[in-house]
């Protein structure tokens, strides 16, 4: 496990797997510092903020096509799973940290279509 430079959330990612890992950490830190202003539900914002302080990010080299990340409730210890495979949509989005916040929101009980300021909400499924 590696901790971000501020010693907050931990991650299984390393610079060999994620060439833009430092940039990703900076983006996550920026999003985390702004959670109270972007997440519209106080309870959800509080939960995501806790994930920012002690959550987990797991890098997955294999994911279903087109996925940026996912949360697996049957393995909640993995926290936010991000899809880092070459060609993954994770790296093609303008701010990949949005996926991390989105997956942590799922870990906090949020679901697609609930809005509340969670990034990349595709609407109800």
Q: Do 113 and 57 meet the contact criterion of CB atoms below 8 Å apart?
A: no
Q: Do 53 and 44 meet the contact criterion of CB atoms below 8 Å apart?
A: no
**Residues in contact with 93: Cβ distance below 8 Å, sequence separation at least 6, in sequence order:** 68, 99, 120
| Global confidence as pTM | 0.84
List the domain boundaries for the chain.
2-107
Mean pLDDT, residues 69-77: 81
Q: Of 52, 41, 53, give the one whose Cα is nearest residue 100.
A: 52
pLDDT in tens, 79-94: 888 888 766 677 777 7
pLDDT in tens, 11-61: 666 666 666 777 888 889 999 999 999 999 999 999 999 999 888 888 888
| pLDDT score, position 98 | 92
């Amino acid at each position: 496990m590696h901790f971000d430079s501020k010693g907050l959330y931990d991650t299984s990612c390393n610079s060999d797997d994620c060439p833009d890992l430092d940039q990703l950490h900076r983006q996550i830190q920026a999003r985390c510092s702004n959670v109270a202003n972007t997440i519209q539900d106080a309870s959800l914002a509080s939960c995501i903020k806790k994930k920012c302080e002690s959550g987990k990010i797991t890098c997955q080299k294999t994911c279903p096509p087109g996925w940026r990340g996912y949360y697996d409730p049957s393995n909640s210890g993995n926290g936010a799973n991000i899809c880092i495979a070459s060609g993954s949509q994770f790296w093609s989005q303008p701010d990949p940290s949005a996926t991390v916040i989105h997956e942590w929101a799922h870990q906090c009980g949020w679901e697609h279509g609930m809005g509340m300021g969670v990034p990349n909400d595709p609407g109800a499924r």
